[in-house]
């Protein structure tokens, strides 16, 4: 395979592999902390142990966000292909924990190996998957080459390319083309994503615009019931949540909450930092500001005097969203790119975000166009918006209902992806 301009793709991958080996001390240091006692670090070199002789499906979801997005697809793969074992890989320890919490023993988990040629080949040789499904777009040249060498079809589900990622792939055109030419099918989130994949080298006949898999978010009755039970303990008071917050956003949320409490003194903020290593830091920030804080993990009662409930557990964000009247979704007041706006929307909770939403621009615009999302620029504006929404129950309820309607109207990516996976499995079986 040769790129239209510049290096042949095979030479580009050789140079990429050489750079990876030269940088291996730095790469290894970076992933050293992404570790769990149940997963030996040698998994990062492809040394995995796979038991049983049933055919296997492999799904990769980089971290927590991708695991949450891929959860409906994982459930569908388990339901659609009960005669296969499903192996899920992640890059991060928090992603691994989310897999365990969500699916328990129904799936097996391994850490993805570093993308050295030998490690990639060893991993695929030991796993022997019938099919590989990549959630979103974490594409690794040597892993894809190892799949091609073994005849493993690769599907990209919920494929997206942000402007920054697209420009990065363009800079390494031969390498990108060599990867994408080997992918069997790409389910793109939007027409723009599809156009970008094709321009980078994916055959147009293998790219389908499915819409965002996040719209197929499942809201189970147990989660709703758990939210109602928890909320019932707090009485009739204004409750809002700041979910998946990053450094800088916690302070803005507390500024907004102070303004809200001047108007509604009994208001409660549920504050959920994105990363667990920040739980203690955010607790200290709240206490330094004089807020009365209860940590969810402590299982202490939330009283009338409690100003902040700190969500310091993993896997409870949906339950906590369901307790709130208004949800601010983090990663959007700081230039992070935004997190999942559809989780609160699917629950009928009014959605507010900041302006930095590059990671989910189409979803954000769809919600805004349907008057299902409000946008603020800082803690002061967030506080004013919260006051407005709690003073106008009808407006707040309309905002929440509009978000739920958007989610229902845009479902469908999951079914298209399921059909593509089934077709690839049939084709793979016929070739063997």
Q: From CA 99, how far away is CA 104, in angstroms rounded?
A: 7
Residue 394, classed as helix, strand or coil, is helix
pLDDT at 369 (0 to 100): 95
pLDDT at 3 (0 to 100): 43
Q: From CA 196, how far away is CA 231, in angstroms rounded?
A: 44
Dump the DSSP string for 91-109. Answer: SSHHHHHHHHHHHGGGSEE
Query: HSE on the CB side for 52, CA within 13 Å?
Result: 10
Domain 221-408 -> CATH class: alpha beta
Looking at residue 274, the DSSP 8-state letter turns out to be S
Instruction: Quote the tokens at residue 87.
Output: 């192996």
Q: Is 73 left (phi over 0), alpha (psi -120 to 50) or beta?
A: alpha
Catalytic one among 34, 43, 66, 136? 66
Could you give phi then psi for residue 162, rounded to 5 degrees?
-65, 165
Domain 9-211+412-431 -> CATH class: alpha beta
Instruction: Quote the tokens at residue 88.
Output: 């899920």
Domain boundaries of the chain, sorted by first residue: 9-211+412-431, 221-408
The model carries a pTM of: 0.78
Which residues are within 8 A (CB) of 407 and not within 5 positions of it... i.e. 6 or more apart?
A: 215, 217, 342, 345, 346
Instruction: Quote the tokens at residue 335.
Output: 């230039």
Question: If DSSP states are collapsed to H, E and C, what string results for 132-200?
Answer: EEEECCCCCHHHHHHHHHHCCCEEEEEECCCHHHHHHHHHCHHHHHHHHCCCCEEEECCHHHHHHHHHH
pLDDT at 2 (0 to 100): 43
pLDDT at 360 (0 to 100): 86
Instruction: Quote the tokens at residue 128.
Output: 């022997």
Would strands 85-90 and 56-60 be described as parallel, antiparallel, or unpaired?
Answer: parallel
Q: From CA 184, how far away is CA 181, in angstroms rounded?
A: 8
For 37, 171, 290, 303, the CA distances from 298, given in Å and listed in that order, are 24, 49, 19, 14
pLDDT at 428 (0 to 100): 76
Could you give phi then psi for residue 406, rounded to 5 degrees?
-65, -45
- End-to-end CA gap in the chain: 24
Residue 400, classed as helix, strand or coil, is helix
Residue 58, classed as helix, strand or coil, is strand
Q: From CA 217, how far away is CA 408, in angstroms rounded?
A: 10
pLDDT at 432 (0 to 100): 60
Q: From CA 310, how far away is CA 110, in angstroms rounded?
A: 30
Which residues are within 8 A (CB) of 295 and not within 5 positions of it... i.e. 6 or more apart?
A: 279, 283, 309, 310, 312
Q: Are 296 and 313 in contact (CB under 8 A)?
A: yes
User: Are 9-211+412-431 and 221-408 in the same CATH fold?
Assistant: yes
pLDDT at 6 (0 to 100): 52
Which residues are within 8 A (CB) of 276 and not within 5 positions of it... i.e. 6 or more apart?
A: 94, 312, 314
Length of the chain (residues):
432
Instruction: Please list the residues that pair with 240 across neighbouring strands.
Output: 269, 326
Residue 97 designated active-site: no
- pLDDT by 10s per residue, the chain, length 432: 444 445 788 899 999 999 999 999 998 888 888 888 899 999 999 999 998 899 999 999 999 889 988 999 999 999 999 999 999 999 999 899 999 999 999 999 999 999 999 999 999 999 999 999 999 888 999 999 999 999 999 999 999 998 889 999 999 999 999 999 999 999 999 899 999 999 999 999 999 999 989 899 878 899 999 999 999 999 999 999 999 999 999 999 999 999 999 999 999 999 999 999 999 999 999 999 999 999 999 999 999 999 999 999 988 999 999 999 999 999 999 999 999 999 999 999 999 999 999 888 889 999 999 999 999 999 999 999 999 999 999 999 999 999 999 999 999 999 999 999 999 998 877 776
pLDDT at 320 (0 to 100): 98
Instruction: Quote the tokens at residue 186.
Output: 């790409």
Helices (H), 217-307: 221-232, 249-263, 279-288
């Amino acid at each position: 395979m040769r790129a239209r301009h510049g290096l042949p793709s095979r030479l580009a991958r050789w140079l990429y592999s050489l750079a990876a080996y030269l940088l291996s001390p730095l790469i290894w240091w970076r992933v050293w902390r992404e570790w769990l006692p149940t997963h030996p670090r040698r998994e990062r070199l492809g040394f995995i142990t796979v038991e049983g002789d049933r055919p296997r499906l492999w799904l990769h979801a980089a971290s927590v966000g991708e695991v949450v997005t891929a959860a409906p697809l994982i459930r569908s793969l388990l339901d659609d292909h009960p005669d296969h074992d499903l192996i899920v890989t992640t890059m991060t320890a928090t992603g691994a924990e989310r897999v365990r919490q969500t699916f328990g023993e129904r799936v097996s988990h391994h850490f993805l190996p570093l993308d050295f040629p030998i490690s990639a080949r060893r991993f695929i040789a030991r796993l022997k998957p019938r099919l590989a499904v990549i959630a979103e777009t974490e594409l690794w040249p040597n892993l894809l080459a190892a799949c091609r060498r073994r005849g493993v079809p690769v599907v990209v589900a919920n494929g997206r390319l942000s402007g920054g990622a697209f420009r990065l792939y363009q800079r390494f055109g031969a390498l990108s083309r060599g990867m994408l030419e080997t992918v069997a099918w790409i389910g793109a989130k939007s027409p723009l994503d599809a156009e970008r994949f094709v321009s980078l080298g994916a055959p147009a006949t293998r790219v389908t615009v499915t819409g965002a898999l996040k719209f197929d978010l499942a809201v189970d009755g147990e989660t709703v019931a758990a939210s109602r039970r928890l909320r019932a303990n707090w009485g009739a008071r204004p409750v809002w949540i700041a979910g998946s917050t990053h450094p800088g956003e916690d302070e803005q949320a507390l500024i907004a909450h102070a303004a809200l409490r001047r108007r509604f003194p009994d208001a409660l903020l549920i504050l959920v930092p994105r990363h667990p290593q920040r739980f203690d830091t955010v607790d200290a920030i709240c206490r330094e500001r004089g807020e009365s804080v209860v940590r969810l993990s402590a299982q202490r009662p939330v009283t009338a005097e409690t100003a902040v409930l700190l969500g310091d557990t993993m896997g409870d964000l949906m339950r906590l969203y369901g307790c709130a009247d208004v949800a601010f979704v983090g990663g959007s007041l700081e230039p992070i790119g935004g997190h999942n706006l559809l989780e609160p929307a699917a629950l009928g909770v009014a959605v507010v975000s900041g302006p930095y939403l590059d990671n989910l621009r189409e979803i954000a615009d769809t919600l805004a166009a349907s008057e299902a999302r409000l946008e603020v620029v800082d803690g002061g504006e967030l506080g004013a918006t919260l006051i407005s929404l709690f003073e106008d129950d009808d407006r707040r309820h309309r905002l929440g209902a509009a978000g739920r309607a958007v989610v229902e109207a845009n479902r469908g990516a999951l079914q298209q992806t399921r059909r593509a996976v089934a077709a690839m499995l049939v084709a793979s079986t016929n070739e063997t």
